[in-house]
Amino acid sequence: MDALIPPLLNGSAQGALLLLAALGLSLTFGQMGVINMAHGEFLMIGAFTAYLVQQVIDSSDLSIPVALPVAFVVAGLFGLLLEVSIIQWMYRRPLDTLLVTVGVSLILQQAALQIFPSQGVPVEKPGWLDGQLTVLGYDWPLRQVFTILLATVCVAALAAWLKYTSFGRRIRATVHNRDLAETAGISTRTVDRLTFFVGSGLAGVAGVAASLIGGTNSTMGAQYIIPAFLVVAAGGIGQLKGTIIAALGVGVGLSCFAYWTTGSLAQVLAFILVIVFLQVRPQGLFTVRTRSLV
């Protein structure tokens, strides 16, 4: 059990963090076919927002709950800016958006490196996250439990928003069939912008959670973007449940491999697993059925 329970506990928290990072990515990718490589940097922006909020609000007990919505809005606005300034001109060339956003991510990383100290900034953990739960005799840090709760709340909120609001319906309609949605009178331009705002905002929330678990520095976003995309690829696009299962799978898998072997070998193994998985299910776990050939 020693080799199983700790990596499982740790891995589910890692999976929850990955899920938060991948949610927004899968939303924007699923709807627009746009791969936003700057998504990781939006996560970084969220983490730095948490730090800045702490400079204003002294008590770390209070600052993290405040930072969550603030980071959502700040990262979301950055995403909106990116959509309006660059991405909206490139919808016909989705593969090229990948490279353009690589450029954006380089610039954001370098800017963060120059604005903030290069070794990163400390984000203080709130007092109520000290301590741990005891699960089957093993310690489970409350920070990890918090990440899981946060991810659950975000997923539930996003699912409810997609399912029950009119905006959510418009987003789902656009994912299913953009042309038909447009014919039906949905302004896909507005929908795209809103999706980008929400997707990037979720990255900001993920950034706050990441700042509580790891370091906050200019390269933190780059660590998350590749695993987050692997989650999106394995989960399939356009549906939340695929992303959830894939995130937990990749998180637990990475954590178990890292526990049994080494961290670097775990990355290689996880990569091989995703490739093998794509052999079995090239569309990912779940996908929206369309009649398009491509």
Partner 1 sequence: MTKLKPHLSLGGIGVFAVLLLAVAPSVLTDHWLSNLGKYCCWAIAAVGIGLAWGRGGMLVMGQGVFFALGAYSMAMHLTLETAGDGVPGFMVLYDPLAPLPAFWEPFRSTAFTLLAIVVLPVVAAGILGYALFKRRVKGAYFAILTQALAVALATLVSSTIRETGGDTGLSDFKYFFGYVLNDPANRTMVYLITAGLLVACLLVVWQLYRSRFGELLVATRDAEERVRFLGYDPANVKLVAFVGAALMASIGGAMFVPIVGIITPAEIGAAASILMIAGVAFGGRASLFGPALGAIAVGWGQSSLGSTWPEGWTYIIGLLFIVVILFLPKGLSSLPARFRAARRGPGEPLAAPAATRQLEGVTS
Residues that bind partner 1 (CB under 8 A): 29, 33, 35, 86, 89-90, 92-96, 98-100, 102-107, 109-110, 113-114, 222, 226, 229-230, 233, 237, 262-265, 267-268, 271, 274-275, 278-279, 282-283, 287-288, 290, 292-294
Q: Which is nearer to partner 1, 5 or 102 (CB)?
A: 102
Q: CA 16 → CA 20, 22, 216, distances in Å?
A: 6, 10, 18
Q: Which is nearer to partner 1, 37 or 148 (CB)?
A: 37
Q: How far is the CB of 5 from partner 1 (least distance, A)?
A: 26
**In sequence order, which residues have a C-beta less than 8 Å from that of residue 34 and are 6 or more positions away?**
28, 87, 90, 91, 94, 97
Q: Which residue has the tokens 């800016």?
A: 81
Compute the distance between CA of residue 53 and CA of residue 57 in angstroms, rounded to an integer: 6
Length of the chain: 294
Q: How far is the CB of 238 from partner 1 (least distance, A)?
A: 8
Contact between 46 and 74 under an 8 Å Cβ cutoff? The reply is yes
**Number of other residues whose CB lies within 10 A of the CB of residue 279:** 8
Q: How far is the CB of 110 from partner 1 (least distance, A)?
A: 4
Q: Which is nearer to partner 1, 59 or 262 (CB)?
A: 262
Q: Which is nearer to partner 1, 161 or 260 (CB)?
A: 260
Q: How far is the CB of 257 from partner 1 (least distance, A)?
A: 12
Q: How far is the CB of 237 from partner 1 (least distance, A)?
A: 7
> DSSP character for 138?
E
Tell which phi-psi region holds residue 123, choosing left (phi > 0), alpha (psi between -120 and 50) or beta: beta
Q: Which is nearer to partner 1, 190 or 283 (CB)?
A: 283
Q: How far is the CB of 280 from partner 1 (least distance, A)?
A: 9
Contact between 272 and 230 under an 8 Å Cβ cutoff? The reply is no
Q: Which is nearer to partner 1, 65 or 117 (CB)?
A: 117
